[in-house]
Amino acid sequence: MGLSVIALSLAALPFVAAGGPFLQQTSNNTWIIGNDLWNITQGSIYGIKLYYQGKDAIGKAAGHYVGADGENNLVWESASIVNEGNDFIDVSFVSEKGDLHWVIYDDLAGSYQYFVNRALGDISILRSLFRLDPDRFPNGRTYLKDEPLPSFQSILDGTKVQDETFETSDGTYITKYDWSNYVRDRDFNGVYGPSTGSWYIHPSTDYFSGNHLKQTLTVHRESSTGDAVQLNVVQDTSHFQTQVTTTQPSGKIWGPWLWYLNDGSITDAKQKFQEELAKWPYSWVNDTAYHSRGAVSGTLKLSDGRVAAGAAVFLGDSDIQAPLAQGVNYYYTSYADASGRFSFSNVRTGQYGLYAWSNGGKIGDVYTNYTKSGINVKGNTKLSTLTWSVPSNERVFQIGDFDKKTTGFIESGPYHHGLAAQSPANFTYTVGKSNTSDWYYASSNLGTWNVEFDVATLEKSSARLIVSLAGYSQSTALTISSNGAVLGSLSKDNVTTDAATYRSGTVSGEWHQFVYPVSNLKQGKNVISFTVNRYVLWRGFLWDAIALEWA
């Protein structure tokens, strides 16, 4: 294929018979890209007039654009073909902040995309998205939800109660946050109708920020216009965690991912996802660092002799921010198998830190984390057996598994707005009679939750209470006491806040753990109390696990 850029006045054409992938410049700041199956007109900010199946898939909607930190949309100053093969071209749209690439194949309905940083600086969010014709794309699909998007009229008729959240006349809520999910559990997200589907497929998630618990938005109904929104948030250290910014290195690549068009078939999109998994890493990427990859493997054992079966294992940055907040480099997630063995393949070469924590199950009693720095990935890196230090103190009681999630509690998932407000004000959990499934996922309303337990023999003079939170949204406050004596309090003054609880997050936000010495246990009946003494609607504490052990 000969590399060429054709300058024409074709902005009004619904389709350009190009004989393959093409870039056409129609004015100083307008271009048309596509192939024989589709084409889109790209302006300085918005991509509009997306012709597929003979008609415009965007219509009166906003179209395609890229933004960093809110609506700080990138402005495209030029476009050119920067790479090509026998059956594809790589078109780069250049802005002051970075370059968006469209890799267009002869016979592919859609395009591979990737973004190369130029000067984003400190950011918390980077995203691309399509806002499409709502009549043509009435439904949304993620691995958690597949249903019609809420109607625009229902949003207009509702009452706005907070950020992108509307209460309807029957007391239910409409919010884009109900469509969120965990980025490393995804297969494909998109919007679709009876004849057309538009999908984002990520065969790798190594360019996403954070660890296993990273979650962000996917699809929704735009509340101000009714557009069908297909989101591609590839960097997010904000929506469901304590907001941080990370400094992005020049040349960093997010992607490639596949934007894929079809006839609306979910079965076909699923098959395409599997095909892309087999192709990754993509051979056509013209970047040496992208292709420089290795592997990491090892085995985790606990200091008490057990294997770390099922542990969550994260390969990230060394000696800096907590895993969920990391967002500078590239990140890899896995789980240990039944023998504690873990592995990562196709890891970009470089220096990493290794992190591990309980994901529940056989090691659900483990509340410590494992950390190892200075792992140099170059070729096949085989780590020796790693010993994870865990306390061996006798446990008095435990409620829930230590997995940094609300797993096992009432209303733990899926995403649903307002459930924190339904938490019981007063509640008694009796050790030996109550079950984990009796505990509510969040504490929000004013009142006291008591944990009653019997101590047959005072094993030691003191114990320690481990309180592990899966998230916290201010300004609800909690006082913790043992047999009436205050052990401590948790509030916005000593717990960093995240937005998960009031943004439909019922499983996790930002993880926190606190340890309190307990010296007033007595033989017979004892009570540990958790009293909410300050209340804010939909805010509160997400529970991970609670344990009392002899010190």
Strands 165-167 and 173-175: antiparallel
What is the tens place of the pLDDT at every residue in 392-427?
999 999 999 999 999 999 999 999 999 999 999 999
Mean pLDDT of the chain: 95
Contacts of 224 (CB under 8 A, 6+ apart): none
Query: What tokens appear for 122 in the block?
Result: 């400190």
* Whole-number pLDDT of residue 1: 42
Query: What tokens appear for 264 in the block?
Result: 């609306």
CB 485 within 8 A of CB 520: yes
Does 13 score more than 70 pLDDT? no
Query: For the purposes of burial, counting CB atoms within 10 Å of the CB of 333, is it exposed (0-12), middle (13-18) or buried (19 or more)?
Result: buried
* 399, containing H or E segment: strand 395-399
Q: Is 290 helix (H, G, I), strand (E, B) or coil?
A: helix
Nearest to 330 by CA among 277, 385, 278, 292: 292
Within 10 A of 153 (CB to CB), how many other CB atoms are there? 9
Assigned fold of 395-550: Jelly Rolls (2.60.120)
Q: Specify the CATH number of the domain 291-388.
A: 2.60.40.10
Query: What tokens appear for 178 in the block?
Result: 């109900």
Assigned fold of 65-280: Beta-galactosidase; Chain A, domain 5 (2.70.98)
* Whole-number pLDDT of residue 361: 96
Chain CA centroid to CA 398, Å: 29
Q: What percent of the chain has pLDDT over 90?
A: 94
Each domain of the chain, given as residue ranges in start order, spans 65-280, 291-388, 395-550
Does 12 score more than 60 pLDDT? no
What is the tens place of the pLDDT at every residue in 58-72?
999 999 999 999 878
* Whole-number pLDDT of residue 18: 60
Instruction: Give the separation between CA 448 and CA 319, rounded to whole angstroms.
Output: 39
HSE at residue 112, side-chain half, CA atoms within 13 A, is 25
Contacts of 382 (CB under 8 A, 6+ apart): 297, 298
Does 44 score more than 80 pLDDT? yes
